[in-house]
């Protein structure tokens, strides 16, 4: 795949993706903490992952945010089943963005 990722000198935080003709947009998965002691903290984790996903889409990426796709799935699947699903998606991704706080997330570290 012909994708170039360059940081601009004017703003080192901005990332420009250049796709060669006929290539597909890079698929990026957002990884980061989901679980938390309270539903409010879970909601904040989901919102942060979604915010990053939106920014990636604005940069020209296709994005998978498991937090949003699987919100409250922990009530229906075991953590092992949910994690296996996320890892299967990650194997298809071209890249991953890891959110702050991943060090405390056993799921993110496993991914």
Q: Over the range 55-84, which residues count as b (16 or more CB within 10 Å of their CB) and which as e?
A: ebeeeebebbbbbeebbebeeeeeeeebbe
| Lowest-confidence segment of 5-14, 28-37, 38-47 by average pLDDT | 5-14
Average pLDDT over all residues of the chain:
78
Entry pTM: 0.72
Q: Which residue has the higher pLDDT, 82 or 2?
A: 82
Rounded to an integer, the average pLDDT of 92-107 is 82
Q: Say what the pLDDT of residue 7 is.
A: 39
| Lowest-confidence segment of 21-25, 32-36, 40-44, 65-69 by average pLDDT | 21-25
Q: Which residue has the higher pLDDT, 97 or 102?
A: 97
């Amino acid at each position: 795949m012909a994708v170039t990722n360059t940081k601009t000198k004017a703003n080192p935080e901005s990332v420009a993706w250049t796709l060669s003709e006929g290539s597909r947009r890079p698929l990026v998965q957002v990884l980061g903490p989901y679980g938390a002691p309270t539903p409010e903290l879970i909601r904040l984790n989901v919102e942060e992952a979604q915010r990053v996903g939106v920014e990636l889409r604005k940069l020209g990426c296709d994005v998978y945010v498991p937090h949003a796709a699987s919100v409250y799935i922990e009530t229906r699947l075991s953590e092992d089943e949910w994690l296996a699903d996320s890892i299967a998606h990650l194997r298809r991704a071209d890249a991953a963005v890891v959110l702050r706080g991943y060090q405390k997330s056993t799921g993110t570290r496993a991914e």
